[in-house]
Structure formats: structure tokens, C-alpha cells
């Protein structure tokens, strides 16, 4: 099995790290347009299976040529290029997965479904943590229910030791982070999918010590295809991001001041895009390599064996210092690597642009995740308990 990993940053590195540990993986082509980033990743991985490729992922013909020699291509670069990369995978007749995170881009990828079926390949968008893992957990809970009422997804990547001013750190792309904060989010109310502003519906959420009381609020991108899959079956469905208390108000202030806007602003005879400036400043100011943790809670309420039932999945995953993998790298990259390997092995045989919650063999996926040290707990109780 040969894989192409596009992007040698944090997530691409973690995907490659996971792939080379499988005895069935022969080669991992690790591609990036930044020489230093690529060299650093290859030096750290230090494995003969890794083949470095300096390449610009926007060069269609070059990407297609390299994809052609692979079993699966995995995009770990910003979402804006995923549609074109999916088209390259079609041209190369190679299975393709990406980390997603943008609803509009994913909808465009689903327009390629018929072409993917004709080419005999599978394309799976949104294969990270959220979107990604949370959808699979929600589907696993739904399988146990006779009737569904609610799905509530809560996820956050946080520093172990929060530092002002935002009590946050760089756990993934700054551009992707800002996108979550500014784009409208999809939720389901009364069985209908609707759009609501991000940074809304603030709630308190509690985790065991040392975390205690935190906050969660609506953000975009994390809910993926769940509204179309379960929208007519549930009364309520939403996704919220977990942060330390006060973070939401701080980001709202930045937004309300226009500092997250994409439109250029005239300034001293030139122009500046506030979002680009803010992205640059956050990249400079936010801590990069501090210890982090991923907190996850997926709550599905419904009817099981004639009784109101609530199934709750929880996870607290910490950085793996020995491996040099942050908690966010583990929880985002491992699901993508697992899905890519399931495709390569033929454990997922369906062709087309696939919806994870319908197409992924849940038990096998969760078993693979557990084998990588990700500890998910599942409890079943009465909603009033």
C-alpha cells in the first residue's frame, strides 16, 4: 500500500507517523511546498518508508502524476484546495480523504459523487476530529436507538496551562480557526436544518479536575453531513467548541470590531485585510508547542427498548510527549490515517463521495483508534439521571 500525504505540517506529520507504523504500508510520499518544513518532518520521522516530495499542491498536473502511483491520497492542507485535489484524485483514479472543516467546500466535493463511482474510487471529506470522529460516534449511538431526539457534539483543544490573553494555543491552522469563528454554523431545530451565527448560544460545560467549569459555543464546520443524515430523524442537533471561560467574549469583541473581516480597509494610502493581519498576529502571539489536551463529549438522546435513553461518549486525550504528538495531532490525524488505511485494505468497498456516518465500519474504526491509545468511554443512562 502506497500513500500520498499532502502537507508536512503538524497534521501531515502525524498522519505520516501513523502510516509508517503499519507493516502493510510500503511507501509514504510526504509532500510540501516548503523545503524546511518537509526536511524537518522527514528528519523527525527518520524512516525508509518516507519519500519526500517538494511540490505545490495547487499544480494540478504535478499532483495528479504523483497521486497515480498511490493507493490513497490524504490532504492535510487548508480546506480551500480540497475540491481541486479531489478532482485530481478522480483524474488519477486514486482514493482520497481530507481533513475538511468547511461546509461549502465539502458540498462541492459531493458533486463529484457520480464521477467517483464511474472511476471506481472513494472520496471521504471531513476525516479529522470535528468534523470526523464526532460524526462516527454520533452514528454509533444512533444505531442503538429506536428513535432519536437530540444530538449534541462538544469538542475543544486546549492548553494544559492557559496563558492570557486568549487562554488558547495553536493546535491547528490559524486560518481554519478563524473560519470556525466567522462563518455561520448549521444546526437542526424541530427537525429542520438552519443556519445560525457562530459564537452564539454560550453554555457552561464541566469536565473532571483539573478542568472544572468551561464554556462551549456554536462554531462552524464541525457538524459535517450529520444534518442531512439525521436532520429529519432528530428534533435538535448542534456542534459547539469548548474553551476556557471568557474566550468566546474575547473573540466576539475582535469580530465586532471588524478585525476578522476579509474585506480590505483603506489605511494611509494603501489597504489591509483585517483578517489577514489578525491571522498573522495570532500566528506570532499564540503559543505553539505547549502541552495540550482534547476534550470531547458526544451526547445522543432517544428511545431504546421503549425507554428514554441517553448515550454519552467522552474522551480526554493528552499530548504524547515521547512521540512529539500533540493531543490535537493525535485526535485529528489518527482518524484520517485509519480511514485511509481502511480504504486501502478494502474494509470500505463503497465507491463515490462517501458520508462517514453511513459508510465507515464503526466497530472496526473504533477498535483501530483504541489500538493507538485513544481512550473513549461510552455510558448509557436515563436522560434524567
Whose CA is closest to 206, among 307, 51, 58, 312?
A: 312
- Domain range summary for the chain, segments of one domain joined by +: 2-128+331-366, 133-326+373-381
* Torsions phi, psi for 353 (to 5 deg): -90, 115
Tell me the pTM.
0.93
Terminal CA-CA length for the chain: 48
How far apart are the C-alpha atoms of 31 and 15, rounded to whole Å? 12
pLDDT at 63: 94
Q: Which three cell numbers stand for residue 92?
A: 488519477
How far apart are the C-alpha atoms of 155 and 236, rounded to whole Å? 18
Owner of C-alpha cell 490524504: 74
How far apart are the C-alpha atoms of 31 and 62, rounded to whole Å? 11
CA torsion angle 54 57 59 64 (round to 10): 90
pLDDT at 235: 94
* Torsions phi, psi for 362 (to 5 deg): -55, -50
Q: Which three cell numbers stand for residue 303?
A: 428511545
* Torsions phi, psi for 92 (to 5 deg): -85, -10
Owner of C-alpha cell 499532483: 63
Query: Which DSSP string corresponds to 330-354?
Result: HHHHHHHHHHHHHHHHTS----EE-
pLDDT at 385: 66
Asked if residue 121 lies in contact with residue 94, where contact means CB atoms within 8 angstroms, the answer is yes
How far apart are the C-alpha atoms of 293 and 326, rounded to whole Å? 8
Please state whether 299 falls in left (phi above 0), alpha (psi between -120 and 50) or beta: beta
| Strand partners for 352 | 122
- One digit per residue, the tens of pLDDT, for the chain of length 385 reads 999 999 999 999 999 999 999 999 999 999 999 999 999 999 999 999 999 999 998 899 999 999 998 999 999 998 889 999 999 999 999 999 999 888 889 999 999 999 999 999 999 999 999 999 999 999 999 999 999 999 999 999 999 999 988 999 988 788 888 989 999 999 999 989 999 999 999 999 999 999 999 999 999 989 889 999 998 899 999 999 999 999 999 999 999 999 999 999 988 888 999 999 999 999 999 988 899 999 999 999 999 988 999 999 999 999 999 999 999 999 999 999 999 999 999 999 999 999 999 999 999 999 999 999 999 999 998 887 6
Distance of CA 359 to the CA centre of its chain: 17
- CA 311, 183, 230, 148 torsion-angle sign: positive
| Strand partners for 267 | 270
Structural element, H or E, at residue 53: strand 50-54
Domain 133-326+373-381: CATH superfamily, name plus number: Dihydrodipicolinate Reductase; domain 2 (3.30.360.10)
Asked if residue 228 lies in contact with residue 184, where contact means CB atoms within 8 angstroms, the answer is no
pLDDT at 36: 95
| Strand partners for 194 | 187
CA torsion angle 97 99 102 104 (round to 10): 0
Specify the 3-state DSSP secondary structure of 190.
Answer: coil
Asked if residue 296 lies in contact with residue 154, where contact means CB atoms within 8 angstroms, the answer is yes
pLDDT at 173: 80
Question: Architecture of 2-128+331-366 per CATH?
Answer: 3-Layer(aba) Sandwich (3.40)
Distances (CA, A) of 64 to 116, 254, 311, 353: 15, 40, 43, 18
Residues 6+ apart with CB under 8 A from 186: 103, 193, 194, 195, 196, 220, 223, 227
How far apart are the C-alpha atoms of 18 and 29, rounded to whole Å? 13
**Residue 8 half-sphere exposure toward CB, CA atoms < 13 A:** 25
Asked if residue 51 lies in contact with residue 27, where contact means CB atoms within 8 angstroms, the answer is yes
Whether omega for the bond prior to residue 165 falls within 30 degrees of 0, making it cis, is yes
Amino acid at each position: 500500500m502506497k500513500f500520498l500525504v499532502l502537507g508536512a505540517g503538524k497534521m501531515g506529520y502525524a498522519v505520516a507517523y501513523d502510516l509508517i507504523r503499519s507493516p502493510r504500508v510500503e511507501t509514504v510520499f510526504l509532500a510540501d511546498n516548503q523545503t524546511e518544513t518537509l526536511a524537518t518532518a522527514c528528519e523527525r520521522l527518520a524512516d525508509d518508508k518516507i519519500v519526500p516530495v517538494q511540490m505545490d499542491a495547487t499544480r494540478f498536473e504535478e499532483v495528479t502524476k504523483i497521486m497515480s502511483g498511490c493507493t490513497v491520497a490524504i490532504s492535510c492542507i487548508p480546506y480551500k484546495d480540497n475540491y481541486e485535489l479531489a478532482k485530481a484524485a478522480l483524474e488519477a483514479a486514486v482514493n482520497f480523504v481530507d481533513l475538511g472543516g468547511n461546509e461549502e467546500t465539502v458540498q462541492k466535493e459531493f458533486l463529484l459523487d457520480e464521477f467517483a463511482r464511474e472511476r471506481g474510487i472513494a472520496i471521504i471529506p471531513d476525516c479529522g476530529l470535528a468534523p470526523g470522529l464526532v460524526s462516527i460516534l454520533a452514528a454509533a449511538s444512533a444505531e442503538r436507538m429506536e428513535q432519536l431526539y437530540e444530538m449534541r457534539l462538544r469538542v475543544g483543544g486546549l492548553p494544559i496551562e492557559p496563558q492570557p490573553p486568549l487562554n488558547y494555543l495553536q493546535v491547528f491552522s490559524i486560518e481554519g480557526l478563524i473560519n470556525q469563528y466567522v462563518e455561520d454554523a448549521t444546526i437542526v431545530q424541530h427537525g429542520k436544518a438552519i443556519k445560525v451565527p457562530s459564537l452564539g448560544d454560550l453554555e457552561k460545560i464541566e469536565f473532571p479536575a483539573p478542568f472544572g467549569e468551561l464554556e462551549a459555543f456554536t462554531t462552524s464546520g464541525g457538524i459535517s453531513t450529520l444534518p442531512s443524515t439525521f436532520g429529519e430523524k432528530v428534533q435538535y442537533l448542534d456542534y459547539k467548541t469548548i474553551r476556557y471561560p471568557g474566550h468566546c467574549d474575547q473573540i466576539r469583541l475582535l469580530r465586532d470590531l471588524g478585525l476578522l473581516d476579509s474585506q480590505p480597509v483603506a489605511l494611509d494610502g494603501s489597504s489591509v485585510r483585517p483578517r489577514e493581519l489578525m491571522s498573522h498576529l495570532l500566528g506570532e502571539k499564540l503559543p505553539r508547542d505547549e502541552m495540550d489536551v482534547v476534550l470531547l463529549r458526544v451526547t445522543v438522546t432517544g428511545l431504546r427498548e421503549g425507554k428514554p435513553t441517553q448515550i454519552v461518549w467522552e474522551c480526554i486525550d493528552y499530548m504524547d510527549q515521547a512521540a512529539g504528538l500533540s493531543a490535537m495531532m493525535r485526535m485529528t490525524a489518527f482518524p484520517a490515517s485509519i480511514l485511509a488505511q481502511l480504504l486501502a485494505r478494502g474494509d470500505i468497498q463503497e465507491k463515490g463521495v462517501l458520508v462517514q456516518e453511513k459508510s465507515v465500519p464503526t466497530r472496526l474504526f473504533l477498535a483501530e483508534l483504541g489500538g493507538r491509545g485513544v481512550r473513549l468511554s461510552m455510558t448509557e443512562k436515563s436522560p434524567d439521571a
